[in-house]
Amino acid sequence: MKELAKQVLRPVTPYIPDAIHQWWSDRHLKIDSDPALFAEFSEPLRPIMAKVASTRFYSYADERRITGWLSRRERQTLYALGRWIPGPITEIGTWVGLSTTAIARGIKDSGVSKIFNTYDLPLSMDSFRPVEGGLGMFLPGEADPRGVCTDESFRNNILPVISAPGGSNGLLKRNLSRLGLLDLVEPHFGDFQSFNPIESSFLFCDALHDEKEIATNATGLRPWLRKGSVLACHDVGGSPKLIEALREILPLGAGATIDSMYVAEVIA
């Protein structure tokens, strides 16, 4: 579970008739101006990742209502990967669809049909109960929490979502439908490790926020990956310790950090 106190606040930008909000402070936003960002990736990924690094990103006005914790550079990363990496594409940890929307926009703009499956937990009020340090998130039958958030974070960020009709899963579907992207996505609800794995060319995982989650979930990612896959993990890139823990479990080659996102190639 994501530490929900770190919600990204977006600046107000002028309305543009075509419903696109450009980031005026960096109008032609790219992941990184350094062309060597993904230069260590192996062939045939290297030229594809060069396209990823140079793809411009725009924030659509109708997406500003979706809450989440991705920086604009991280959303651009997901958009570009969705656009240039072939399918199948998998996302683990969708919440209400901010990352899902970025990937789906990329798929749509690629003009290529791609399989895109998403997986998230079906959370409800019964999933949370008091623990030391705040409220813990528990899955059925588990004695230890998957994550802990403060009481304030729960009231301000989680409760409004899980108390909405259908909870986070319902909001995800409504957001995708409102944006005309639902036909590009196949949402699934439950622990991803309970589903049959689909080997993916690109996998985004937002369920590796600390060493405990890496130990719990990273091994389960292995059947979803193959040699040449691209793995992107949120909240890992800012911590050398978490990167090392991830690389001890998965066969990763070259990698790059974009804000708190870590993007790496799978080499076996």
Q: What is the pLDDT of residues 104-123, one digit of tens each?
A: 999 999 999 999 999 999 88
pLDDT at 34 over 70: no
Whole-prediction pTM: 0.85
Greatest mean pLDDT among 133-137, 215-219, 235-239, 261-265: 261-265
Ranges of each domain in the chain? 29-266
DSSP letter string, the chain: ---GGGPPPPPP----TTSEE--GGGTT--S-S-TTTTTTSPTTHHHHHHHHHH----EEGGGTTS-----HHHHHHHHHHHHHS-S-EEEE--TTSHHHHHHHHHHHHHTS---EEEEE----GGGEEEETTEEEE--TT-SS-SEEE-HHHIIIIIHHHHTSTTHHHHHHHHHHHHTT-GGG-EEEES-GGGSPP---SEEEE---SSHHHHHHHHHHHGGG--TT-EEEETTTTT-HHHHHHHHHHS-EEEEEEETTEEEEEE--
State residue 133's pLDDT score: 85
Q: Would you state the CATH architecture of domain 29-266?
A: 3-Layer(aba) Sandwich (3.40)
For tokens 């813990």, name the residue: 136
Residue 258 has pLDDT above 60, yes or no: yes
